[in-house]
A and B are shown apart, each in its own frame.
Chain A
Amino acid sequence: MRELTYLQAIAEAGWQEMQRDPTVFVMGEDIRSGLFGATAGFLEEFGPERVRNTPISEAGFVGAAIGAAMTGMRPIVDMSISVFLYVAMDQVVSQAAKDTYLFGGQARIPIVIRSALFYGGSNAAHHSDRPYPMFMNVPGLKIITPATPYDAKGLLKSAIRDDDPVLSFEDCTLWYSKGDVPEDDYTVPLGSADVKHEGSDVTVVAIAGAVPHAIAAATKLAPDGISVEVVDPRSLVPLDRDTILRSVAKTGRLVVADPAHTTCSAASEISAIVVENAFGDLVAPILRVTTPDVQIPFSPPLERTLYPNAEKIAIAVRRVMESPVKASV
């Protein structure tokens, strides 16, 4: 099987969908130059009408994508970095998320907003957020968080074909990770979690860049006789609750690894769902491995320690294996 990087898989999804459907087009800041590689070569292939550089006007071009989507187009907005979504917040929340509902179903808004979770590279607080949880709190949006090249291509294709606004949060710590990606057309449906590593003692639900760390933790703990199951939700809205609950029913223990800040994180929501629906299955309290509620600092030694990693996940797994669990870390 052919290997692609995560970024190449993203590029291939957009490329193939633009070939398949003439209503798909892409716009964003500096995309003709293909700065991060997700739109490299698009201008030459698809021409300037369908590959649009925008001014630094996030509200303007997200709104324009919404208007174009309402009237028959399927725009892909390349927001480059997730924090720039804040600049377009009114358009994302007041228009993209709400107009289908507000207008009683008259509006279809098939728009994909791609953005990078741009953390871990000393870019400090203005660039490094992982803000998908705040958008989970906005009904009307769909949210994907691919963790592998295969999932990135398949999820993005589903997102582009979906008739609703989809936010794609692409983890920059995975940009150059490689994996098998079929060249042909395939999709990964929204709302289908994937068991990335099978196990029987502890379920680790891991999101985006936390997925490889969770798999590494599973590998590290196996020789100690601790069998970890890693579940990757792949999309946070819709969320595949069944796969998560099924895994917890099997293991009785849950750790959620999520690069977002702790409070109201995706991990918080997943924990609540498990407590509400599977309390009887749990033999230990749930632990979250998240980024503490501080802003992201610039200096590498300050930043490096903040995010979930294999070591932290392994510690959490060992703690839930002890029963009863000791006082919190």
Chain B
Amino acid sequence: MDQVDQIKQGTSGSLRVLLFGAEATLLGTSEISVPAEEGIRTVGDLRNWLANRHGKLGPLMNQIRVAVNHRFAADDTPLGPDDEIALIGKVSGG
């Protein structure tokens, strides 16, 4: 089982969120775990939770998009423990 598979599965219904670039540097980690008891059901819930729980992300939240299973997702997209969730901040390829 590779790292991404482990991240996707999570544990006990928790959500695992992948971080990259400036967001990963800011929080000092490439992954956040959101406990099931936080009651996160949608992308919008996750965004609110992140803004409250990880205040450092606050100034960046308006430029962070959420990808679910490798696609950009709207705020009403439902989330589950089997989803691969990633925060996509300002990109800089090319």
Partners in one complex: no
Q: Show the binding face of A for B, using Cβ within 8 Å.
A: none
